[in-house]
């Protein structure tokens, strides 16, 4: 199983991703984010680590998420074993789930935020992940969920994205998570006005709590001052 959420804020170019799985070192293989451009999560029965290169190239050429995803899937002889979620700079998303992936399989796509998973304990895991993220981030989560309305994000919500992503993950794991158990988790956030945040728990019996502990260390005044001192682009 792998469970992922990606988020793009078109107004600022901030991009975020969260991933968790029952295997080792999920952060090294699954999610990829590019500020001002988009994101993808490549997972499934067998992850294809070359999808991100093709997706990024297509997005840079100006293709929308659906076109970028179609390009990499069409070139892949093993696409039936893949699940891939892509979002472009406009917050539009697309998902591919091959027929060889193991159930329970689910995906939920909304403007600027989307989630997908496979080998889940139940169908509510992905919905819980995304709905919790929306509830914590925006003022109109019910409209976003039921009517695909554009989210009205809270002022300053980007500042708390690491905590929000972890709370959403925790809710999804409480809803069932991976049917094998969840052992690794990671998040990455890129923006134009701060250094990237790239946190990974490669193996732990409680990866959401371990990720939360890492965020507390990042928020420590000493390390926060170090991050704030880094060049901005």
Domain, as residue range, for 28: 2-229
Give the single-character DSSP code of 69: H
Number of CB atoms found within 10 A of residue 21's CB:
29
pLDDT single digits (tens) 125-136: 999 999 999 999
pLDDT band at 1 (very low <50, low <70, confident <90, very high): confident
Residues 6+ apart with CB under 8 A from 93: 6, 65, 85, 86, 87, 109, 110, 114
pLDDT at 233: 73
Mean pLDDT of the chain: 96
Tens of pLDDT, residues 139-164:
999 999 999 999 999 999 999 999 99
pLDDT digit string, tens, across residues 30-80: 999 999 999 999 999 999 999 999 999 999 999 999 999 999 999 999 999
Stated pTM of the model: 0.97
The string of pLDDT tens digits covering residues 162-202 is 999 999 999 999 998 767 789 999 999 999 999 999 999 99
| Count of domains forming the chain | 1
Supply the CATH number for residue 207's domain.
Answer: 3.60.20.10
**What is residue 51's predicted lDDT score, i.e. its pLDDT?**
98
The terminus-to-terminus CA distance of the chain in angstroms comes to 36
Least Cα distance to 187 among 133, 145, 229 occurs for 133
pLDDT at 174 (0 to 100): 94
Distance CA 189, CA 212 (A): 15
């Amino acid at each position: 199983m792998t469970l992922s959420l990606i988020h793009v804020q078109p107004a600022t170019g901030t991009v975020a991703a969260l991933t968790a799985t029952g295997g080792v070192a999920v952060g090294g293989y699954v999610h990829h984010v590019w500020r001002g451009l988009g994101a993808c999560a490549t997972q499934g029965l067998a992850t294809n680590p070359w999808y991100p290169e093709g997706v990024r190239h297509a997005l840079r050429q100006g293709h929308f998420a659906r076109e970028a995803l179609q390009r990499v899937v069409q070139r892949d002889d093993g696409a039936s074993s893949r699940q891939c979620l892509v979002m472009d700079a406009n917050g539009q998303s697309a998902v591919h789930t091959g027929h060889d992936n193991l159930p329970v399989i689910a995906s939920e796509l909304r403007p600027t935020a989307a989630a997908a998973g496979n080998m889940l304990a139940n169908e509510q895991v992905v919905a819980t992940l995304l709905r919790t993220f929306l509830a914590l981030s925006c003022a109109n989560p019910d409209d976003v969920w039921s009517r695909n309305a554009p989210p009205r994000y809270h002022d300053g919500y980007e500042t708390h994205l690491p905590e929000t992503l972890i709370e959403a993950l925790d809710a999804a794991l409480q809803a069932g998570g991976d049917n094998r158990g969840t052992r690794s988790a990671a998040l990455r956030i890129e923006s134009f006005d701060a250094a990237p945040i790239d946190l990974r728990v490669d193996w732990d019996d409680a990866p959401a709590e371990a990720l939360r502990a890492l965020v507390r260390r990042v928020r420590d005044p000493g390390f926060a001052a170090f991050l704030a001192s880094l060049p901005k682009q």
